[in-house]
Structure 1
């Protein structure tokens, strides 16, 4: 069920029975010469919609712009600063809670959002507003990713390329795959990535001239379909697991005994 396509009485029927929502989030940022800037949010939305179709849970509109200042040197990249991003996500999450949603899964496809989504989830849980968790698609299927790609990459690499070949092949510039590999950093991290234990970079351009990592020529639509199906299955299982828990069991555990002030 897609929230924005429903009427308010139809959504009233939903929250009378269910209390879970799926929120897709990504970015609008450079993904090299072969992938569109929409890559992350397209992947997130496709997985969220697929899981919603399979399970019947509510899916919200997609958050298209994320925390992406580390890609700022490349044309077209948009970003929200971290405090504003966190406040925005927390605000609409509280909106959902006002309407009866007390479990939220942030279906995330952008690494720059991860820390901030977890912080929002911590805030909402601390106040017992909602149980909100961040789910990253590739982290749900790490063994499969390692199995199908010999030289992977965390950004614009073969896993994202293959996913986009499956989701929307018309947006993939397949004639640029070799350029992406040869102009980027196929083997990452390299010996200069860390210096005496310190990360020697802040921005994507510090590591790669064209903004991408890994061997993009290793991507195929068939591999993308395998990733998509496996990740969708993991997401559906997560949704079922969360929905099956009692709300009280998802909240923070109490302070250990003796309770503060109990002997006063």
Structure 2
């Protein structure tokens, strides 16, 4: 069930039986020579849609631009400042709360969003803690790539070649979603370097093709399909547990 494909009376009916909603969140940033710029938004979105269909859960529009300032030296990358993303998350949550949503499950595809979204949650809860009304909101950030089934399968498929950015797992998943966009290629070096980095120019200097520690030449549509099913199972299990917290 997609929020943008519903009418307002349908949302009102939904709220009579559930106060939960999934909000996919990702990023628009480079993913190496053969990874799609939309990878970090595509991955949580396609999984969230499947979870929504299988569990009759409402899925909000994807927040597809995240905190990715360190990728801005690569053409096509877009970013919000941390303060901007905090404001966006707060406004989305408060908009949903006005209508009666109480369990808001942010489903993430970009590691760079984690600290900022958690800070947004802290700001939302602070509104209550510093003398406001008690809040009924339950908020969670879950990362599609951290589910136990996905982690196990990624290790089985790619071992140390998984790396940290432009990984074969995430690129395989996008190729499952958009097989016509698959771009198999041989990369040199096979496994990209790893290092600490600072701003966007420093990132580009240290990782000239955009990868960090990964070998996405191992990506495949078949692997993406397996990872998709693993993450859907992980997410259904985690989302149901989230709803039962109270």
TM-score, length of structure 2 as denominator length: 0.89
Query: 1:142 Cα shift?
Result: 1.9
DSSP 3-state at the match of 1:186: coil
* Partners of 1:145 and 1:133 in 2: CA distance: 24
Alignment correspondent of 2:70: 70
Q: Equivalent residue for 1:165?
A: 175
Matched-pair contact (CA < 8 Å) for 2:192–2:207: no
Displacement, 1:229?
0.7
The answer to whether the aligner puts 1:156 opposite 2:166 as a matched pair is yes
**What is the aligned partner in structure 2 of residue 254 from structure 1?**
none
Return the offset for 1:54.
1.0
Paired residues, what number? Answer: 233
Report the counterpart of residue 136 of structure 1 in structure 2: 143
Q: Which residue of 2 aligns with 1:234?
A: 234
Give the deviation of 1:44 after TM superposition.
1.4
Measured in 2, the distance between the counterparts of 1:16 and 1:106 equals 21
Mapped pair 1:100 → 2:118: no
Q: CA deviation at 1:201?
A: 4.1
- TM-score under structure 1 normalisation? 0.83
**Is 2:215 the counterpart of 1:209?**
no
Q: Distance in 2 between matches of 1:7 and 1:200?
A: 46
Report the alpha carbon displacement of residue 129 of structure 1 after superposing the two structures with TM: 4.9
What is the CA-CA distance between 1:143 and the residue it aligns to? 2.3
Structure 1 segments (4+ residues) deviating >6 Å: none
Tell me which structure has the larger Cα radius of gyration: 1
Gaps of 5+ in 2: 129-134
Work out the CA distance in 2 between the residues paired with 1:154 and 1:107. Answer: 19
Distance 1:101 1:160 in 2: 30
| Residues 84 and 33 of structure 1: CA distance in aligned 2, closer, same or farther (over 3 Å) | same
Residues 207, 57 of structure 1: alpha-carbon distance in 2 compared, 3 angstrom cutoff = same
CA contact 2:22–2:57 (8 Å) conserved in 1 = yes
For 1:219-230, what aligned pairs fall within 5 Å after superposition? Answer: 219-230=219-230
CA RMSD of aligned residues (A): 1.7
| Partner SS, residue 64 of structure 1 | coil
SS in 2 for 1:222: helix
Partner of 2:132: none
